[in-house]
Amino acid sequence: MTSWNQEQLGNAGLIVNIGRAMNMSNSDITIALIAAMQESSLRNLTYGDRDSAGLYQQRPSQGWGTFAQVTNPEYAIRKFYTSLAGVSNRSSMSPAQAAQAVQRSAYPDAYSKWFNDAQSIVSKSTVSADTPANFGLLSSYTTGQPQLDLEPAGITNLQGVADAVPVGLDNPRLPLGLGDIGSEQAYMPTEEVANLLGGSASNATGLRQKMIQEAEKYLGTPYKWGGAAPGAFDCSGLIYYVFNKLGIKVNINGQARSLPRVSQDQVLMGQRADIGSLQPGDFVGFGSDAHHIAIYLGGNQILEAPHTGAQVRIRSLGNNENAFGVHLDLGGF
């Protein structure tokens, strides 16, 4: 059994989630994990043998990228998966052999000792091979213990750690709750917000009004996967930040509960409801897996951090979106 700290779990989570986003199999993700476990102990090292650096000890002199690139965890992980995908016969190899085909290590037999640890991590993430992972962070975690509490990968603080989704994908699939709605809906630019707020959203009062007003301050902020601070947000990170800044609690059976970080957990904080019955300040979730979440403003309008390449915005809900309402009880706190 190996104990992994928060830094190591964060990097393991990135490996799992980026693997899901790139549609890699569970076996491929296991290979990526054992390679990083052996090469760097799941740490983003700035040193190594000769010019080796990063999670995978990739060497700039061997064509892996610049030093800045190989020490960017997202880049290094994507680069590893891209190289692994080029090993066409890897299904007939052991995980250690496949890792060696990419890494060309002087110690090829060392990878196999990490197989059980890697399998344990993959099994505690979302198990479907074609579903983005929901792997989590703890202050520490010993592989094999069953009580892992799943949370989003790569989030170590309010700033998050991920710079971008995997590049080179036309329609990347993101980790659950760090979402991409996958479509470009007509949206309301910042200069029109005042008109909207003079209309249906003006029905918001009290804490709900404060919540909406706080969220509006970040219109135009860039989307960033893993972002949960004013410089950049993902969908659930924006809502998480607003709730925490204002100290908003949700009434769950008479108990004051803080809002969790991930969209699929956030939608569980209230009651499912028709969108037409929502109050301003309630949530709108998207998809059966709640891969995206937004704040409802009233009048069929939502405020959201939509996806990579876009900004925090207000838009109208489309008629054919797979969306559902979540009514929150914010009273009493």
Q: What does pLDDT average to over the chain?
A: 77
For residues 134 and 235, state if they share a domain: no
For residues 253 and 314, state if they share a domain: yes
In a domain, 299, yes or no: yes
For residues 223 and 292, state if they share a domain: yes
Query: Quick one: pLDDT at residue 315?
Result: 87
Q: Show which of 142, 175, 200 is a domain's final residue.
A: 142
For residues 19 and 103, state if they share a domain: yes
- The CATH number for 292's domain is 3.90.1720.10
In a domain, 266, yes or no: yes
Q: 295-319 pLDDT, tens per residue?
A: 999 888 999 998 888 889 888 888 7
Q: 212-269 pLDDT, tens per residue?
A: 989 988 988 898 888 898 889 999 999 999 999 999 999 998 899 999 999 999 999 9
In a domain, 150, yes or no: no
- The CATH number for 39's domain is 1.10.530
Query: Which long-range contacts does 247-253 make (Cβ < 8 Å, 24+ apart)?
Result: 248/207, 248/211, 248/330, 248/333, 249/330, 249/333, 250/328, 250/329, 250/330, 251/329, 251/330, 251/331, 251/332, 251/333, 252/329
For residues 108 and 19, state if they share a domain: yes
Instruction: Report the distance separating Cα 176 and Cα 135, nearest Å.
Output: 9
Q: Three-state DSSP class for 5?
A: strand
For residues 86 and 197, state if they share a domain: no
Q: Show which of 142, 169, 203 is a domain's final residue.
A: 142
For residues 136 and 197, state if they share a domain: no
Q: Could you tell me the pTM of the whole model?
A: 0.47
Q: Show which of 82, 110, 142 is a domain's final residue.
A: 142
User: Taking a C-beta distance cutoff of 8 angstroms, is the pair 195, 225 a contact?
Assistant: no
For residues 285 and 231, state if they share a domain: yes
For residues 22 and 137, state if they share a domain: yes
Q: 206-227 pLDDT, tens per residue?
A: 889 999 989 988 988 898 888 8
In a domain, 59, yes or no: yes
In a domain, 174, yes or no: no
In a domain, 138, yes or no: yes
- With 0-12 CB in 10 A as exposed, 13-18 as middle and 19+ as buried, what is 229? middle
How many domains are contained in the chain? 2
Instruction: Report the distance separating Cα 69 and Cα 74, nearest Å.
Output: 9
In a domain, 279, yes or no: yes
Those residues of the chain that have pLDDT short of 70 are: 1, 125-205, 332-333
Count helices and strands in the chain by DSSP H and E runs: 10, 13
Query: Quick one: pLDDT at residue 211?
Result: 93
In a domain, 181, yes or no: no
Q: 200-210 pLDDT, tens per residue?
A: 344 566 889 99
Side chain identity at 144, as an amino acid letter? G
For residues 74 and 191, state if they share a domain: no
Query: Which long-range contacts does 75-81 make (Cβ < 8 Å, 24+ apart)?
Result: 76/44, 77/14, 77/15, 77/18, 77/19, 77/32, 78/18, 78/22, 78/166, 78/167, 78/168, 80/32, 80/35, 80/36, 80/55, 80/56, 81/18, 81/19, 81/22, 81/24, 81/28, 81/32
Domain that holds residue 70: 3-142
For residues 135 and 192, state if they share a domain: no
For residues 194 and 118, state if they share a domain: no
